A and B are shown apart, each in its own frame.
Chain A
Amino acid sequence: MAGPRYIADDPANLRAVELDGLVALFHAPSGMTHVVAPPAPQILEALGEGPGDARAILERIRARYDVDDEEAAGAIEARLAELEAAGLVRRA
């Protein structure tokens, strides 16, 4: 069964700066700053191609990075929940 589909907030709302492996994100609508670790920035990058569920996001990340599927699938679901709570992604 497919999980919920997610959509990233408008990239124009987000500023991102790489900080030695981590990424600082400034989300203009909330005024919040988040310092995130992989794979959160990669999830946002993948959702930049359009809405998708965790499986579609994994496919898109796998096209760019060398990932361990099982480990990545769990991490993507956990990070999606956090990104949703932060307002950086929402259900499509």
Chain B
Amino acid sequence: MRHELSLAIGPVSFRVGSAWKGPVDALAGLYADYPAPDDVCDFTVRLEPEKPWRRWLRPSVAIHGDYMLPDAVPLSLAHGLLAAEMGMNLQMALGQKSFLLLHAATVEKDGRALILTGESGAGKSTLSALLGESGWRLMGDEFALLDCATGHLHPFPRAISLKNGAIAVMERVAGEGRFGPVMEDTPKGRIRHLKPRADAIARMREPARPALILFPRFGEARAMRAVGPAEVFVRLTQASTNYVALGARGFDALSGLVAGCPALAIDYPDTETALGLVDELWQGLPE
């Protein structure tokens, strides 16, 4: 490829190749503080013109790699950074064999991890980003990597993908130098990436023991309820992208996680309420 970048995020490494300079430059800016991979990269992402002539004429970016989805709609070149991020997510979601992958945000304190999971729009990315600015270590805003052998969670602290209203929320608490470019009118709306804090990047090889699972839901009055282990198990199989592919290893890892962690659903009308709920529940955990 004409333009390339290799980067390691937690225990996973990517090689991103692009027909254009822009997306690789934007990615290099966001990931400047991350270490280079030690070894051969786990996954390859290629950003290529949908058709050869489309490199110049109304350029549109098609995402290619080791694992592909048919009929993925190409993105405008202005959204090249989003294409790179989506490509990396896609390779992880379809190709990850070493960890049980949960679509969840994770943060850590005192060696113990809090898992936030739920549907898109539940607010897990924003909540984890805010927690990461207030005494917690951000482990990841998108994927929780559950180690099938140890039951521990590994960080995957990629740049946080902030959408729409979450951008202004985080611009109030993080310095301008940690933000990527604003991308308007993407298929997911307005997007801006935020670099995790330096300590989250420095400690990205440091796993943590899962201690609490929360299912947050934004836009409702403050409420919480315990979620039983059978419901947690089923919801987490749905939140995993590779549960079926891992077979018995995935079953053992997931049932171990569910047995070892209390789980609650929390409803919140605003982020301040959510942070208060998280604090209250975390304080109430047995040591």
A contact set with B: CB distance below 8 Å: 15, 17, 19-22, 24, 26, 28, 31, 33, 35
Asked if A19 meets B229 with Cβ closer than 8 Å, knowing A24-B255, A33-B237, A35-B234, the reply is yes
Q: Given A17-B255, A17-B259, A24-B255, answer yes or no on A31-B247 (Cβ-Cβ < 8 Å).
A: yes
B238 vs chain A, min Cβ distance (A)? 11
A35 CA / B229 CA spacing, docked (Å): 11
Q: What residues make up the interface of B, taking CB atoms closer than 8 Å to A?
A: 228-230, 233-234, 237, 243-244, 247-248, 251-252, 255, 258-259
Please tell me if the beta carbons of B247 and A19 are within 8 angstroms of each other in the complex: no
A15–B229 CB distance below 8 A: no
- With contacts A31-B244, A35-B234 known, is A19 near B258, CB below 8 A? yes
With contact pairs A19-B228, A31-B244 given, residues A26 and B251 touching in the complex (Cβ less than 8 Å): yes
- Say whether B251 contacts A22, CB under 8 Å: no
Q: How far is the CB of B102 from chain A (nearest CB, A)?
A: 15
Also in contact, A24 and B251, with CB within 8 A (given A19-B233, A33-B237, A35-B233): yes
Which among B234, B237, B252, B259 is the interface contact of A15 at CB below 8 angstroms? B252
B248→A19 contact, CB < 8 A: no
For B251, give the chain A residue with the smallest CB separation.
A26
CB neighbours of B255 from chain A (8 A): 17, 19, 24
CB neighbours of A26 from chain B (8 A) = 247-248, 251
Is the CB–CB distance between B234 and A28 below 8 Å? no
Chain B positions within 8 Å of A28 at CB level: 247-248
Q: Could you tell me the distance in whole angstroms from the C-beta of B253 to the nearest C-beta in chain A? A: 11
- Compute how far the CA of A31 lies from the CA of B244 in the bound complex, rounded to whole angstroms: 7
Please give the distance in Å from B140's CB to the nearest CB on chain A: 25
* 24 pairs, A vs B, C-beta closer than 8 Å: A15-B248, A17-B251, A17-B255, A17-B259, A19-B228, A19-B229, A19-B258, A20-B228, A20-B230, A21-B230, A22-B230, A24-B230, A24-B255, A26-B248, A26-B251, A28-B247, A28-B248, A31-B244, A31-B247, A33-B237, A33-B243, A35-B230, A35-B233, A35-B234
Query: Contacts of B258 on A, CB cut-off 8 Å?
Result: 19
Sample of 20 further A-B pairs with CB below 8 A, known A20-B228, A24-B251, A33-B237: A15-B251, A17-B251, A17-B255, A17-B259, A19-B228, A19-B229, A19-B230, A19-B255, A20-B229, A21-B230, A22-B230, A24-B230, A24-B233, A24-B255, A26-B251, A31-B244, A31-B247, A33-B243, A35-B230, A35-B233
